[in-house]
Structure 1
Amino acid sequence: MNKLDIAIIGVPMDLGQARRGVDMGPSAIRYAGVVERLEAIGHEVTDEGDIQVRVTKSSDMTQTNLKNLNEVRIGNTKLADKVHEVVTNGKFPLVLGGDHSIAIGTLAGISDRYKNLGVIWYDAHADLNTDETSPSGNIHGMPLAVSLGLGHDELVNIRGFAPKVKPENIVIIGARSIDPGERELIKERGIKVYTMHEIDRLGMTAVVEDAISYLKSREVDGVHLSLDLDGLDPLYTPGVGTPVPGGITYRESHLAMEMLEESGLITSAEFVEVNPILDERNKTADVAVALMGSLFGERLL
């Protein structure tokens, strides 16, 4: 296992969706012992603190159908600059959410550091909606589309370039709630998706092995892991804003993280959508930290 210099960045963002409370996710994950867990494995860990997110009293949709567009843009721009600084300094960025809209900033901050970045999207949802296809206007359902260069210009062009990632370099794992517009985009762009059907039928080992092989065949020079805790079944992660039954198990998720660590492909990561208000005794944050342990090389023996 390589010893890493990990920089933790919290993003208390709850403006990308309608349910408040996910802004407390970074604090819940810290309380669950993320720093101590990673240091115990042997990594150097620096907590960079939280990105300041401007709070609004109600959803602003005065100029667009996207909720809180301006605040989400500003927060993600700050995050992108911070992630870029961390990566430039040779550190591994570990971003704590916050809702999944923060992936816009994370990917904007790392993508120009790689010639051919890969992305693993571990999520119940595809997050490939745009302002034209979204049924809700919630930006947390759009970050992957935005990173492909699709959607509102103010989000697409954060840090002044687009796209941030190629569709053929994306792997989605665990999808089980996909909107019609997203389904069309997946087929049109040829995005690699392992739904729960593939996980049930093939098993997580085969799915992750195939995903790793696929990304290696694309000759990626780095892989970002974006893990939404609703990718797991709500039985294990009750504290998420958009739970979908029939998800990935706790043990399957540990196996996936262990295999990704063994592959040596992961160069950045984020864990999102931990909402303490909806949680049970910080259970979801505890799961997030346990999965981080596996991702960063924790072993029983």
Structure 2
Amino acid sequence: MALLCHTRSDSPGSGLSEWPIVAVQRQGQAEERTGAALALGDYEEEAMKGCDPPARGAAAALTVNGSCFARLLRKQADAGLQLPKPAHSVALVGAPFSRGQKRRGVDHGPAALRAAGLVERLAGLGCQVYDFGDLNFTQVPNDELYNNLVLYPRSVGLASQVVADAVSRAVAAGHSCVTIGGDHSLALGSVSGHAQQCPHLGVIWVDAHADINTPLTTQSGNLHGQPVSFLLRELQDKVPQLPGFSWLKPCLSATDIVYIGLRDVDPAEYYILKNYDIQYFSMREIDRLGIQKVMERTFEQLMGRRQRPIHLSFDIDAFDPSLAPATGTPVLGGLTYREGMYITEEIHNTGMLSAVDMVEVNPLLGASQEEVNATASLAVDVIAACFGQTREGAHIAFDELPTPSSPDESDREEQVRI
């Protein structure tokens, strides 16, 4: 594996362009990259028209009815139709932010995932990985409560703006963007930044919690439980203007998001899900339908009428705590390992995945180093499955089987005996 390191500082204050860039490529597959080619601002605007990076040059959008969308994608690929191919250029963005909630340690999540081998795993799948390091977040002094309840609004708002800029620039440059947190409030920025380049994106939100409280319905005051309410257009008359949030504009409609794995939903959140007709699959639905049917219905909802980029926002607490103990708000009865891998494998198979969030890994909350390692390794498995890792092994390019260069010695001995 070759490590190509470049440092850029040509655009002060522009976010990603100031960070050290580590490009990781498989040995023997490295290609020449100039500094200009790595600049996240260097891309052709014409290529971005239509805001569908994974589908550039693809055939016209498919119209699919029924619940067999995922299988139909495979059949069309087998038939040789021109379908979007998964991007193999991955921008890794660390977001060590913790002020969307009260517990210390979640800001160490990016370091834990890197230590668990995330970069090397993606490179081993044939991805070209550009690790842009961790974002820097400005500390806001005297960040007073909003409405005597909501915590750190200015800190969350400003940090989310930094994340939005980073993700927008990464997607604009043609990368699939992987944002590693950090708490789930960072999705305010990652989804917003993604939508700046791809306004018609669809979001798959895998989580034990709906994260759709408003600042006026929250019981905890934690903004990591509220990001979706700020992102939905239908809720804007219910969401007050928080200090630090003036930059944020709603970018999703209720039909643009599907939840998977819910099992701890507040009363106001349940009201929103039902009255705004938001598609969700609780663990009860997963038990009743099975994960295959859940994914078929998810793709039917988001991509049944047209193909579009997918944003996967994955909270590690979607898994059962027996698998992911090092997290801040564990809830019993979560996803199994097989269900979690199936979700991400199927998303990868669409060829439309454009951005991923992996959040809420908290190394300080594991009862032992083994629990921390297990949680971080699970998060790495999820991300790897998004980029082609399968449970029967990594399916990288393999052209042909080798043939012997000379007759086998045993054959020669047999001929002598005869």
Q: TM-score range by the shorter chain?
A: over 0.9
Q: Does 1:284 align with 2:375?
A: yes
Supply the distance in 1 between the matched residues of 2:357 and 2:282 (Cα, whole angstroms).
21
* Secondary structure of 1:153's aligned partner: coil
Residue identity opposite 1:214 in structure 2: Q
Q: Tell me the CA shift for residue 278 of structure 1.
A: 0.9
Deviations 1:178-231 (A, max 9, x none): 111111111121100000111001111111111112211253521100000000
Question: Is the Cα–Cα contact under 8 Å of residues 3 and 42 in structure 1 kept in the other structure?
Answer: no
Q: Tell me the CA shift for residue 61 of structure 1.
A: 1.5
Supply the distance in 1 between the matched residues of 2:111 and 2:286 (Cα, whole angstroms).
32
Match of 2:110 among 9, 23, 26: 26
* Secondary structure of 2:389's aligned partner: coil
The TM-score with structure 2 as length reference comes to 0.68
Count of residues in correspondence between the two structures: 300
CA, structure 1 residues 46+72, in 2 after alignment: closer, same or farther (shift >3 Å)?
same
Larger radius of gyration: 2
Listed as ranges, the matches of 1:126-137 within 5 Å are 126-137=210-221
CA, structure 1 residues 23+44, in 2 after alignment: closer, same or farther (shift >3 Å)?
same
Listed as ranges, the matches of 1:147-296 within 5 Å are 147-149=231-233, 150=236, 151-154=239-242, 159=247, 162-219=249-306, 221-279=308-366, 280-296=371-387
Match of 1:87 among 146, 171, 176: 171
Question: Is the Cα–Cα contact under 8 Å of residues 169 and 220 in structure 1 kept in the other structure?
Answer: no
Match of 2:157 among 65, 73, 79: 73
Supply the distance in 2 between the matched residues of 1:9 and 1:164 (Cα, whole angstroms).
21
Question: Is the Cα–Cα contact under 8 Å of residues 104 and 155 in structure 1 kept in the other structure?
Answer: no
The percentage of aligned residue pairs carrying the same residue is 38
**Structure 2: 5+ residue stretches without partners:** 1-84, 394-418
CA, structure 1 residues 39+216, in 2 after alignment: closer, same or farther (shift >3 Å)?
same
Equivalent residue, structure 1, for 2:209: 125
Question: Is the Cα–Cα contact under 8 Å of residues 147 and 156 in structure 1 kept in the other structure?
Answer: no
Structure with greater helix share of residues = 1
Supply the distance in 2 between the matched residues of 1:34 and 1:58 (Cα, whole angstroms).
36
Q: Does 1:100 align with 2:187?
A: no
Residue identity opposite 1:49 in structure 2: G
Q: Tell me the CA shift for residue 63 of structure 1.
A: 6.3
Deviations 1:78-123 (A, max 9, x none): 1111111111111111000100000000011111222421100000
Supply the distance in 2 between the matched residues of 1:140 and 1:11 (Cα, whole angstroms).
14
Deviates more, 1:109-118 or 1:30-39: 109-118
Q: Tell me the CA shift for residue 239 of structure 1.
A: 0.7
Alpha-carbon RMSD: 1.9
CA, structure 1 residues 3+267, in 2 after alignment: closer, same or farther (shift >3 Å)?
closer
Question: Is the Cα–Cα contact under 8 Å of residues 255 and 301 in structure 2 kept in the other structure?
Answer: no
The TM-score with structure 1 as length reference comes to 0.94
Supply the distance in 1 between the matched residues of 2:365 and 2:93 (Cα, whole angstroms).
23
Where in structure 1 do 4 or more consecutive aligned residues deviate above 3 Å? 54-60, 154-160
**Structure 1: 5+ residue stretches without partners:** none
Supply the distance in 2 between the matched residues of 1:203 and 1:114 (Cα, whole angstroms).
31
Supply the distance in 1 between the matched residues of 2:133 and 2:204 (Cα, whole angstroms).
25
Question: Is the Cα–Cα contact under 8 Å of residues 105 and 364 in structure 2 kept in the other structure?
Answer: yes
Match of 1:40 among 95, 113, 124: 124
Question: Is the Cα–Cα contact under 8 Å of residues 3 and 44 in structure 1 kept in the other structure?
Answer: no
